[in-house]
Amino acid sequence: MSPARPVRVRFAPSPTGPLHIGGLRTALFNWLYARHQGGRFILRLEDTDQRRLVSGSAEHIMAMLRHYGLDYDEGPDIGGAFGPYVQSERRERHVRRAGWLVQEGAAYPCYCSAERLKAVNAEKRSRGEASGYDRHCRDLSVAQRAELDAAGETPVIRFRMPLEGQTLVRDAIRGELRFDNARLQDAVLLKSDGFPTYHLAHLVDDRDMQISHVMRSSEWLPSLPLHWQLWEAFGQEKPVYVHLPVILNPNGKGKLSKRHAGFTQNGRQVLVLAQEFIDAGYLPEAVGNFLTNIGWSMPDEREFFPVEAAIEGFELSRVNPADGVFPVEKLDWLNGMWIRELSVADLAQRVRPLLLQAGLEIDDALLRKVVPLMRERMRSLHDFAAMAGFFFSDSFAGPEADAIIQRRMDAAGTLGALQAARLRLEEMERIDCAALEGDMRALAQELGIKVGQLFGSLRVAVTGQRVSPPLFETMEILGLETCLERIDLAIATLQRQA
């Protein structure tokens, strides 16, 4: 290719269902490359298999790209100079190119029925041979074709693969690849329903849209020689092919794909859909950062970095050709890191819908006070409601006596400690967390118990939880009145026990 060729890359999903995380990764790498090169990132919908279309998935895919910050420069909903960006709307071009190939002798009509194809395959397999089409119609005479046409047979169009020699192909991250032509198939380019197959359609569109780099998952590698030969037939400048490694299941068995949605590994649900990562409380920043680290690495080996840094450093030469397992634990770590980067206002905004979803009432002033306490200890957005949800609930069911009583304490001792703490609190007008902590430390010493024992009882009494945000900050936010009420409740519980 000429060095002056402007970089134009595309993400070309089929709107056949929800966007998969592997698809998102492919989109991300294309996007990073485009942004790094100052090129264009294009979205094209490949909807040529009419039977598999799922309504709403095109909109869903676009919504996901938007959510994860992968803005495209041309696409179905925003247009562009090379439209339309929906493949089915480009059908005439595909049909025209297929016709041209037939005229040039590079393709031919095939009248074989599905049944015959199946039988041929089965027979070849039973003989231990490689399966595949036997090229029955490859050399039909003009008269034979006319006869079949007259009989009302609708042919498919197949590519006329060279029968001998080798196809030498270059992949940007794997180097020179070599394929024996004799093993290659006369692939179908145009189906009998008049729609092109992926092979024809993507290539004609990439050609028309002046795509400079075809960056896709490595499962396309086996059809690369076919595509290469097709470009040869068109006599066109070829794009650079880049085959990205595949993301494998956490157990390393098979690629992470849609059909595995909903399965669990070590008691944990394995997430595979772009939407599932949102539902699980992961930030788009964290998911993007995470995905960037699979199959690619920063020049300085940093793993936690903003997307601008990834754009800056994104070189194809740093793509690792080996398939990789999805390292989920790292996503949790990154998510925590990214949560800590957020401002109070921003994190409050992101946590808000989850609180609503948990049926909690939101007091925004209160939320702004609680967020700083929680930011340091969250890995998922869901951790907020789990640990700090009690701030937003009026109904407080007092904890069990067992929970209030700390290690190496008994009911009577705990009761005494809480009563003493209550006396100190009563004297205050309001809670000041620093002052209260000093008071309570002194009290623990007076009582001859460990601070942890006193603080633990107080924590459970006031929050109803063994684990909570820092105790005295929590009490200050809850307010003196609420704290006294809850301590009284605990005292009553302990008295019943004693």
Please give the positions annotated as active site: 258
Q: Residue 163 interacts with RNA (CB under 7 A)?
A: no
Site for RNA in 337-366 (CB under 7 A): 337, 340
Minimum CB separation of residue 496 from RNA in Å reads 25
Site string for RNA, 6-45 (x = CB under 7 A): ------xxx-------------------------------
Q: Is the dihedral of CA 401, 371, 275, 9 positive or negative?
A: negative
Q: Which of 31, 33, 85, 198 binds RNA (CB under 7 A)?
A: 198
Q: How far is the CB of 9 from RNA (least distance, A)?
A: 16
Backbone angles phi, psi at 330, to 5 degrees: -70, -30
Cβ–Cβ < 8 Å for 121, 131: yes
> Contact with RNA (CB under 7 A): which of 229, 293, 380, 457?
293
Q: How far is it, in rounded angstroms, from Cα 250 to Cα 327? A: 7
Q: How far apart are CA 438 and CA 343, in angstroms?
A: 30
178 binds RNA (CB under 7 A): yes
SS (H, E, C) 303-342: CCCCHHHHHHHCCHHHECCCCEECCHHHHHHHHHHHHHHC
Q: Which is nearer to RNA, 308 or 329 (CB)?
A: 329
- CB 428 to RNA: min, Å: 17
Judged by beta carbon, residue 348 or residue 387, the one nearer RNA is 387
Taking contact as CB under 7 A, which single stretch among the options 63-71, 350-358, 377-385, 395-403 is the one that binds RNA?
A: 377-385
Distance, in Å, from the CA atom of 173 to the CA atom of 357, rounded to the nearest integer, reads: 45
Residue among 89, 147, 149, 219 that touches RNA (CB under 7 A): 219
Among 329, 427, 429, 446, binds RNA (CB under 7 A): 329
Of 180, 208, 232, 346, the one binding RNA by CB under 7 A: 180
Asked if residue 130 binds RNA (CB under 7 A), the reply is: yes
Q: Exposed, middle or buried: residue 258 (CB in 10 Å: 0-12, 13-18, 19+)?
A: middle
Is residue 170 close enough to count as binding RNA by CB under 7 A?
Answer: no
The site that binds RNA (CB under 7 A) totals a number of residues, namely 89
3-state helix, strand, coil in the chain (%, to 5): 50, 10, 35
Please report, as residue ranges, which positions from 222 to 241 form the binding site for RNA (by CB under 7 A): 222-223
Pick from 341, 256, 333, 240: nearest CA to 295: 256
DSSP state at residue 239: P
CB of 175 to RNA, least distance (A): 7
Residue 72 is a binding residue for RNA (CB under 7 A): no
Site for RNA in 298-327 (CB under 7 A): 301, 303, 317-318, 320-325, 327
Question: Does 330 contact RNA by CB under 7 A?
Answer: yes
Phi, psi (deg, nearest 5) at residue 78: -120, -5
CA distance 339 to 381: 8
Q: Which of 123, 346, 376, 402 binds RNA (CB under 7 A)?
A: 376
Q: Which segments of 215-323 does DSSP mark as H helices, in order? A: 224-234, 274-279, 284-292, 307-313
For 475-485, b/e burial (b = at least 16 CB within 10 A) is bbbbebeebee
Among 31, 41, 108, 195, binds RNA (CB under 7 A): 195
Give me the least distance between CB of 467 and RNA, in Å please: 4
Chain centroid offset of residue 260 CA: 14
Q: Does 114 bind RNA (CB under 7 A)?
A: yes
- Please give the residues from 238 up to 257 whose contact with RNA meets the rule CB under 7 A: 245-246, 248, 252-255
Q: In what order do the strands lie in the sheet with 156-159?
A: 107-110, 156-159, 188-190
Decide whether 183 or 368 has the Cβ nearer to RNA. Answer: 183
CB of 224 to RNA, least distance (A): 8
Build a one-symbol-per-residue string for 407-446: x at contacts with RNA by CB under 7 A, - elsewhere: ------------------------------x---------
- Rule CB under 7 A: is residue 386 a binding residue for RNA? no
136: contact with RNA by CB under 7 A: no
Among 24, 64, 294, 487, binds RNA (CB under 7 A): 294
In the complex, what is the shortest distance from the CB of residue 14 to RNA, in angstroms, rounded to a whole number?
4
Least CB distance to RNA at residue 201 (A): 7
> Can you say whether the dihedral through the CA atoms of 194, 200, 202, 208 is positive or negative?
negative
Structure tokens, 100: 């041209």
Q: Which of 233, 475 has the CB closer to RNA?
A: 475
69 binds RNA, rule: CB under 7 A = no
Whether 9 contacts 38, CB under 8 Å = no
Min CB(206)–RNA separation in Å: 12
| Cα dist from 332 to 188, 264, 285, 378, whole Å | 45, 17, 12, 10
Q: Which two tokens stand for residue 196?
A: 């092109």
Considering all CA atoms of the chain, what is the largest pairwise distance in Å, rounded to the nearest integer?
109
Nearer to RNA, 318 or 361 (CB): 318
Closer by beta carbon to RNA, 6 or else 466: 466
